[in-house]
Every structure is written in structure tokens, then in C-alpha cells.
Structure 1
Amino acid sequence: MDRGKRPDRSLAALNSKMYMDLKDIIREHSLSFLPAKSLFKFNAVCRDWKLQISSPFFAHNQSLFCRSTSGFFIHSLDGSPSLIPIDPSFCGVPDPLLKFLPEPVDIRSSSNGLLCCQGRAEDKAYYICNPVTQQWKKLPKSNVNHGPDPAIVLIFEPSLLNFVAEYKIICAFRSTDFGDAVEFDIYSSKGNSWEVAGEIHFGARATRMPNPKSGVHVNGVVYWMTISGSILAFDLTKERSQLLQNHDSRGILGEFSGKLCKMNVFGNSISLSILDNVHSNTMQMGSKTKMWAGKQQVVLDSNIVGNVAGDYSVLHVDSNMLVVRSQGKAFWYDFKSRATKCIPGEFHNSRCFPYVNSLVSL
């Protein structure tokens, strides 16, 4: 071959091959990390992308890899559900009012793209749904009374080995047989049934009853704040409960780097405290052992939030973000960049439900 001549391959052919290779790489390795709204747009790229995105196997992978909170479901002033995305261009659902469900509902809990809702009809039925796909399932009725405002926590942890979504619901309820005691009703999608745990938490006076709106799940343990400020913990594996002495009824619970955390507002700053011994959960009633460790202060950008010192409340916290409400507006604090941003929309309700824009199939 003449060294002075190039191979017979045009620049256009090279560019075309590079484009095809890049397109295949993106399709195979990047699409699963994107939220559902972006994926629906990419359906129009080409036939191959549309076929891949619409496959059940892809939906399963996307539920594994796309785990970041992309928005919040709240109840509007009229009581109807509403979705407020952190970034409207990356998060959305076809019907944020959840009218695809057979009756009007109240949202009780959320977990990795799934919502647990309760109907407003007399039977107070529970529904599990995915707002993106509008798939839903009505759960069987429990044999116990959960009360008018149930302390519900939905737990859905996507697993590579479970192609079918498996989830649980934990409800802490006042015992009707043992007076001032709390029992735990557990629903498992695997058996499609409710079962009351053998554990009974005695000595739960009125001030030690779990706050229905405070439940969080962290590494196999469900935690609720109580009116008195203590924290009721229930270990799902051991089916064992205990009361963590906290002596502060303010703030909310959350998950931070795999540990239970608590956020409190103090003047113009917010205090983040992390449970000291989350793995053994050995804190006992009356223990003088230090409960919280890793305390740090979070100061929001006053140029974004304005002069609202002491006039905001924490709505949500996880490993990536903190969400604070003030005068009907919500602000998002990024723990990595330490940037403060205003979330578009109005947050009049004191509770929001973190939402992942997932394609998980029921």
C-alpha cells in the first residue's frame, strides 16, 4: 500500500460510525439512570430506543439505577394531590391528581417511585400505585383498625434479583386489647396479606403514641416521632421495638448516608444530627448514652431564602438534599454543592412525600 495515501474511507463514514457507536453506548449504559419524563421524550429518537425503553427489563433496570428524589407530592389547599417537581424539565406524571385511581385518595407514604394512598370512602381502602405508568393495586382489608390517620410507612427497595416489585407497609396502631400499647400491622406484597407482629410496645401513653406523619425507614428499621419528642423504633427483621429518648419534639426524621438523622431549626440555621449507633440500635429507655453524633449546622443562602430567620420548617431530608418551607414557598439545599435554590410551586401543606420518577412496574 502506498504510505502516502489514506485508506478508502470518507470522513462522513467515520462520523457516522462514531455517532452510531455513541448512540449505542448511551442506549445501553446511560438511559437507565434517567427519570421517566426524559425517557418518554427519548422515545422519539429512533425505533431501537423506543423498543428498549418500553421493555419490562429496561423498566426494572431504571427502577434500580434512577433513585434520586425528583419532586414531591403534596396535598393542595382543596385536599387534592399535586406534584411539585424540583426541576420541571426532568420530572412529571400524566395525572398528578391521581384521578386514574377508582376514588379520591389521601397520600399516606411514598417510596422509590411508588405511592401508598388511602381512599376516602367508608372502607378506607389502601392503594399502591405508580403515577408514571398509572398502574395501581387495591390492597386487601386489614383485620385491625388503623385509626383515622394511620401511621403508615411504605417500604420499597428495588432489587436486582426481584424482577417483580416487592414492597411492605408498616402501620403502628394503638392496641385495642392492651390499653396504652402500640402494635404493628405489616402488609407484604409477596403474600398479599396483612399480619400483626407479635411485638407489643407497652407503656405508650398518649404522649408516646407515634405521630402518623413522621415515619421513615432506614436500613430495616422504621422510626416514628412521638408527641413527647421520643422516637419509637421497630426492627422489621427482629420484630422488636424500643423507645429512643430524644427529649425534643421539634424537627423531622430522615435518612442521611444510611443512618437515621434528625433536622431541627434554630434561629437562622438548621441542625443536622445523626443517630450514633444505627447498626445495633441498642439505645434503651433511660439510657444516658449519647444518642446523636455527627451534628452539623446548615445555613441557607439568605439571598435566596430572604429574611425569614426562624420562620421556616423542614419538610424533607435525605443524603442529597434538604427541603425547607417558608411562607408558602419551598427551598432546596444541596448537601454536595451547598447551593440553595427555590422550588417552583406553593407548599401550603406541612407534609410532602418525596417522589422518584421511576418506571417500576406493579
Structure 2
Amino acid sequence: MKGFSTLLLFSSKFNDDDNNVSEYFICNPTTKQFKKLSFLQNPIKDGEFYVSLAFDPLQSPHYKIIVVREVLKNSLIFELDIYASESDGWKVATTIFETKEGDCIKFEDSVFCNGKLHWNSYGNQSLYLDVEKECLQMMPMPTPLRGNRLEIYRYFGESGGRLYLAATCHAYIDLDLYVHQMASDYSHWFLKHRLNMGDAMEVFPELNLGCHPFSSGFSGVSFVGSERKEEVKVVIWADGKIICYDFNDGAWKMIHDPGLGLKIGTPIEYFNHLHEQRFIPYKYFESVYVFEDM
């Protein structure tokens, strides 16, 4: 398939007589061509089933699809299936592993970085997969804060070959965003920055950031590179506006404001804000690779 190497993995749900069914597709939005994925092992009914894309267009035009599939319902035992576009073939049950209930691993929230697929977790540890070696490894997660601060959400991402995790922590109606970076040897996370959302509201008073218990006031967090390679910009989608904190000059800035009437989301019983819905952002960029076939 010819065109810029921008790929999207997306799913479409429909109802049959017995269950909700998801179909998965790989799409090149530049050429408007897509490929429907056919799984050799279908998920068990009502079992956990997660699909991730491992693709770095700066390294290779080829991609892999990683499937985490529950072996038995509510067993916490999973199998890994891997599809390689280069061979157009599946390796089924390459790895069988078991998780602990307290790990709270979010297999639907994955980040591909430096040839490894990482999964977010709300526990003290998670997993990552070395895609080439097909080797699964443990990785620690930041320890949740104790005391009068309550951790609500974790946002997982990467920039410049580094893993980042931002955690929202509430104390009454005060909200902080703790930004962590993973050590290069995967031994630990270290706290890079602590941002108070009250400072952002002084710059953007129209936003309601952390003003309600158990609600952060924004729907997604991403991490993008800045002029200084050792720093990142923390990008936040809040009530339809996209703002960022630039660590180069220590300032909150507006990136995009679509104006009134362009917010996405449906009203919810006590709140009428976009941030009541959760979004996982993904980066978009183009390269010069050419695809002959998906």
C-alpha cells in the first residue's frame, strides 16, 4: 500500500444475538485504505480481549499487532498473540502469563516506545513486551500517594524515547498533576514536576480544573518534545481547549481553542463538561516510508 506511513488501529462494535462484537482495522488515513484484522484465536465470550499496534515509522515500514487474550473468564491468565505485517502471519499464544488482581494493569492503554510495548497500571507494577524478542518483562509503577491526597487518574505516554506518566491527585478541591519519568534501566520512576491546576486556572479562568471531587477537569494528557531535549511539554485537553505547560519558561499556554459550540461529549447528570469522558491521545506524524501492501 503506497503512501505516507501513518497508521491507525481502530475498532468498530456491533451487536449480534448473543454478545457485543468488536471488529478491528488497520487504516492508512493518507491513502484511505484499510485492512480488516482476522484473528486466528477468537476471544472467549465476555472474556477480556485487547489489541495494540506496535509501529515506529522512523525505524521500519512494518508493524505488528499485539493481542492480549484472556484464557479463562475472570482467571487473570492471559495469552499473547502477535501478527507481523512483514510476513502477513500470526504467532498464536507466544506467551502465557498471569497477573495479580492488585496489579490493575490496563491493557487497553498501551504505549509503544523504543521497540517495546508498555501497559499502564494503577497498581505498583505493570508489564512491557520487547516486541522483537517477544519477551515479557515486569516494570515498576509510581507508588500512589497516601494521606489526604487521593490519586484519581493516570495518563501514560512517551516523548523522545522516554516514558512518562502523569497522575492527578486531589485534596478536597485542590488538584495537582504529578509528572513522572521512567529511568532508562526501568528500575524506577522519578518525579520530574508537580503542577498545580490552580495556576492554570489563573491563566484560563474559564476552565474548571479540579473543581469537583473525583473529577480532574480534563479528558486527556499527552507529552510532546520541546526545544530543550531533556524537557517535555505537558499537553492537556480541557473542556474542548488544548493547553500545555512549557517547562522551558514555566508557563501555561493555549495551543488551540475551537471556540464555543465545538465541545464534544454528552451532558451527564451533575456535570456538563467534556472531561467527564476519558480519551487516550495518540501522536501523528508522517515519514517517507512507502507501503506496498498492508
The answer to whether the superposition gives a TM-score over 0.5 is: yes
Aligned residue number for residue 114 of structure 1:
7
- Letter paired with 2:105: P
Equivalent positions of 1:224-263 (< 5 A) are 224-228=119-123, 230-238=125-133, 239-248=135-144, 250-263=153-166
Aligned residue number for residue 214 of structure 1:
109
Partners of 1:141 and 1:169 in 2: how far apart? 10
SS in 2 for 1:301: helix
User: Alpha-carbon deviations, 1:146-192, whole Å to 9, x = none?
Assistant: 766643321221147x5xx3111222232339943232221211122
Name the CA shift for 1:332/1:186 in 2 (closer, same or farther; >3 Å).
farther
* Among candidates 117, 130, 135, match of residue 28 of structure 2: 130
Aligned residue number for residue 333 of structure 1:
244
SS in 2 for 1:211: strand
Within the alignment, does 1:140 sit opposite 2:65 as a pair?
no
**CA contact 1:125–1:141 (8 Å) conserved in 2:** no
- Letter paired with 2:43: N
**CA contact 2:83–2:90 (8 Å) conserved in 1:** yes
Within the alignment, does 1:275 sit opposite 2:182 as a pair?
yes
Name the CA shift for 1:357/1:148 in 2 (closer, same or farther; >3 Å).
farther
Aligned residue number for residue 279 of structure 2:
351
Question: 1:263: how far off?
Answer: 0.5
Within the alignment, does 1:182 sit opposite 2:89 as a pair?
no
Task: In structure 1, list runs of 5 or more residues that go unmatched.
Answer: 1-55, 64-112, 284-290
Question: 1:314: how far off?
Answer: 5.7
SS in 1 for 2:204: helix
Partners of 1:188 and 1:232 in 2: how far apart? 21
The two structures have a TM-score, normalised by structure 2, of: 0.67
- Letter paired with 1:329: G
* Among candidates 323, 329, 333, match of residue 235 of structure 2: 323
The two structures have a TM-score, normalised by structure 1, of: 0.56
SS in 2 for 1:190: coil
- Letter paired with 2:242: F
Aligned residue number for residue 101 of structure 1:
none
- Letter paired with 1:253: F
Q: Kindly, what percent of the aligned residue pairs are identical?
A: 19
Aligned residue number for residue 304 of structure 1:
204
Aligned residue number for residue 213 of structure 2:
none
User: Alpha-carbon deviations, 1:33-66, whole Å to 9, x = none?
Assistant: xxxxxxxxxxxxxxxxxxxxxxx6xx55xx5xxx
**CA contact 1:117–1:126 (8 Å) conserved in 2:** yes
Name the CA shift for 1:330/1:183 in 2 (closer, same or farther; >3 Å).
farther
- Letter paired with 1:157: D
User: Alpha-carbon deviations, 1:197-234, whole Å to 9, x = none?
Assistant: 533333x1334353243211121222222353532222
- Letter paired with 2:178: S
Equivalent positions of 1:150-169 (< 5 A) are 150-159=49-58, 165-169=61-65
